[in-house]
Amino acid sequence: SNLRAHLESLSIVNGKLTQVPTKALAGLKKLMVLDFELNEISAIEEYAFYGLHLVKLNMKGNRLERIPENAFSGLEDSLAELDLSENRLKQFPTGALKRLENLRSVRLSMNEINSLEQDDSYTRFGSLVFLDLSLNNFVELYSDVFNPFPYVKTLSLYNNFIELVHRDSFVSLKELQSLDLSHNQVVFVDPEVFSANRKLHTVDLSHNHIHYVSGE
């Protein structure tokens, strides 16, 4: 139909969808924005969005526990903004996201992620500038943990359970401008921890347990 050929934005919010309606989406060549917020989707099938050219995808407030490696196949050149917040993800979906060459913004707030396990040492998110990992289960930030995200400018780790921040945690974040570490359990911050972050202008460390900041 005429609508199918020209539809640019589709929202099915607060519905009862349990899966991505792949067949219904097929042929929506002009679709750029897809919003499935607040449904009951527990899994994304592989190739669920194949044939689409989405720029923005909102899957916030569903029941996703994991994201298969080929979940976003076909969106490699188009997808720029992805919202996966308020789901049940236990791992950062590196495999599924690393092929998305134009991905600029990823929201993963309110999941159950506790680490950024690298699948290999070569993964680089070359376009990602905004990363929200707030309200997850991080306890420790290891040395160079953000190595795959060299261009991130805004990073939120608000309201995790972070106790330990390694002095080299942020060493690869050369473009970092804003960091939110508030509402964690950090006790000590090494004075060299931000030495590589020349562009950093805003750091929020409020509501932690810091009682000692060394340095001259």
Domain count, the chain: 2
Contact 100/79 with Cβ under 8 angstroms?
yes
Domain membership of residue 183 as a residue range: 114-216
CB 188 within 8 Å of CB 164: no
Q: Say what the pTM is.
A: 0.95
**Which pLDDT tens digits describe the chain residue by residue (216 residues)?**
688 889 999 999 999 999 999 999 998 999 999 999 999 999 999 999 999 999 999 999 999 999 999 999 999 999 999 999 999 999 999 999 999 999 999 999 999 999 997 666 678 999 999 999 999 999 999 999 999 999 999 999 999 999 999 999 999 999 999 999 999 999 999 999 999 999 999 999 999 998 766 654
Same domain, 40 and 130: no
- What SS3 class is residue 96? helix
CATH number, domain at 60?
3.80.10.10
Same domain? For 126 and 199 the reply is yes
Give the list of residues 6+ apart from residue 90 with CB closer than 8 angstroms, or none. 65, 66, 111, 112, 113, 114
Beta bridge partners of 132: 107, 156
Of 94, 112, 130, which closes a domain? 112
Residues 177 and 102 in one domain: no
Q: What b/e sequence results for 126-152 when a residue is b if at least 16 CB atoms lie within 10 Å of its CB, and e otherwise? A: eebbbbbbbbbebeebeebbbbbbebb
Q: Please report, as a single letter, which amino acid is at residue 212.
A: Y
CB 29 within 8 A of CB 2: no
